[in-house]
A and B are shown apart, each in its own frame.
Chain A
C-alpha cells in the first residue's frame, strides 16, 4: 500500500495515541485474560500418611503424590506437609521436615543396602535378602560364640554383650516397643536409641 507522507503521519499518530491511552489505563476492556490465582497443585493427588524420617519427635506428615493410583500412572511425590490430625505436631513441621521433599528426590539418597566386603575398599549395592541374611548369619555366629548364660556367682543372666544395636530415631511408641522386644529377647544389652538427629 503506497502511503503519502501525510497518511503515514496520520497512521503513526493514531497508533501512538492509542498506545498512550492504553498505557494510561484504558487498556483492559475486551482483552482476553487468564484467571489470576495459581491453580491448586494438590487437587487430585494421592494423600498418604507417614512419619517424618528425621528426629524422635516423629511428626506426622502427609505425602502428596501425582496420580490417583490408576494402574498406568506411576506415583511421584510432589509435596509433603504436616498432618493436622497427628497428635504430635498437629500439622506443623520444623525447617528440616518442611524440606522433606528434597530428601525424597535427592540424588545422594540411599535407596538400597550397601556392602563393603572384608578387606574391600568400595561399598557396593546389594539386595535386601543378601543384607538381611548376612546380618542374621553374623549375629547368630557371634551370639553362639559369646552368649553368657551365667555370671561368676552362678546366677542366670542370659547376656549377649559382644554385639550392640543402635535403633532408629523416628520410632513411634509401637515401633520402639517391638524393637525393644526383639533386641532384649536376644539377650542384647548394648542397646541405644538415636534420640536426635
Chain B
C-alpha cells in the first residue's frame, strides 16, 4: 500500500503529487502551553521520555535547572528556564517547555529533500517518518525554531511527534496528560484558542497588560501555542523567535531554483527528443573514418 493511500496526509516532503483530499472534514488539533501556569516540574519531560521509550545518556550538572542542556535525538521536549528582571526591578522566572511547534507551514517539510520523510497530517501534526529520513540535516536548517536533532548513531532526524500514535487513537499527548498544573492543554485548535483567550483576559486583569497568545502567522500559525505574559517580547522566553521565519535560503531553493531546475531538465529532455526525431543521431560513415585516419597520419608525420 502506498503511504499516499493514507488520506490523513495534507503535506509530504519532496513530493509534487497532491495527497488525496476527499476526507476534508478533520478537526485541527493544538497543544496550548500556558507559561504562566507552569511550575517547571518537568513532568512533561519525564512523561515524554517514558511514552516514547527515550532514555538519553545521563549528563552532568551545568549550573542550570535545564537538564539536559539541549534538545536531542532522545530529548524531544525540554524545559527552558530564563531569569528576567522586569521594569519594576523584580525577578521573573520565565519557564518554557521547548519542542516542536507543529507549524501549519512547516519549514522542515519544505526543506526536506527525501520524499515522504516529513509529512503533515490533516489534524495538523508534523511527523518525521524515520525510515525515509536520509539524515541530511536540511530540516534543522529549515526549522525556524531550531528543533530537529540528528542522531549520531543512526543518522536520522528526530523531534516531538505530538504523540501522533496517541492522538491517532483518540488520546491526548503524554506531556499534556502528565502536567500537574494544567499548564499544558490539548484539544481542537479552536477550543485551545478560546481557552487561551480566557487565560489572557485573566492575566491582563492581574497586571500583565501585554499578555497574549503565541500562534505566529509567519509560519501560518502553529499547532503548539503558548500563552505568554509578555507576548510583545517572546524572545524573553529562552529565545522564542519574535518573528519566526523559514530561512530565505530554503524559500529560494524550494520556491524558485528547484522549479527552474526541473523546467531546465525537462526542456533539455524535450530538446534532445526533437533533435533526435528531426536531425537524428550523428552517423559515422566510411568516408568520415578514412578522412579522420588521413588527418591523424598527417599530424603524426608533422610532429616527427
In the complex, A33 Cα to B4 Cα: how many Å?
A: 9
A176 smallest CB distance to B (angstroms): 22
Q: Mark B268-291, 1 if CB is under 8 A from A, else 0.
A: 010000000000000000000000
Q: Are A98 and B47 in contact (CB under 8 A)?
A: yes
| CB nearest to B16 among chain A residues | A25
A36 contacts B by Cβ under 8 Å: yes
Q: What 0/1 pattern do residues 20 to 49 of A give for CB contact below 8 A with B? A: 111111111111111111111100000000
A184 to B161, CA, bound (A): 53
| B84, CB-defined interface residue at 8 Å | no
Contact A98 B46 (CB under 8 A): yes
Contact B177 A81 (CB under 8 A): yes
- For the complex, is B6 an interface residue (Cβ under 8 Å from A)? yes
Chain B nearest CB from A57 CB (Å) reads 9
What residues of B have a CB within 8 angstroms of the CB of A67 in the complex?
none
Of A85-93, A111-119, A128-136, the segment with at least 4 beta carbons within 8 Å of chain B is A85-93
Mask of B1-39 contacts with A, CB within 8 angstroms, 1/0: 111101001001011110000000000000000000000
Kindly state whether residue A95 has any CB partner on chain B within 8 Å.
Answer: yes
Cα A180 to Cα B15 in complex, Å, equals: 68
B150 within 8 A of partner (CB): no
The interface residues of chain A lying within 8 Å CB-to-CB of B51 are 79, 81
Evaluate contact between A89 and B180: CB separation under 8 angstroms.
yes
- Docked Cα-Cα span, A118 to B49, in Å, equals 44
What are 18 residue pairs bridging A and B, where the CB atoms are less than 8 Å apart in the complex? A22-B115, A24-B14, A24-B262, A28-B12, A28-B17, A31-B2, A33-B3, A41-B165, A81-B50, A81-B51, A81-B174, A92-B179, A93-B47, A93-B180, A95-B42, A98-B46, A99-B46, A101-B50
Which are the 3 A-B pairs with shortest beta-carbon distances?
A: A98-B46, A33-B3, A98-B47
A contact set with B: CB distance below 8 Å: 17, 20-41, 79-82, 84, 89, 91-99, 101-102
Beyond the given A39-B165, A98-B43, please list 8 additional residue pairs across the A-B interface where CB-CB is below 8 A. A30-B2, A32-B1, A33-B3, A37-B168, A40-B168, A81-B47, A81-B178, A92-B177
**Interface residue ranges, B against A (CB under 8 Å):** 1-4, 6, 9, 12, 14-17, 41-43, 45-47, 49-51, 113, 115-116, 119, 127, 129, 131-132, 161, 164-166, 168-169, 174, 177-180, 182, 258, 261-262, 265, 269
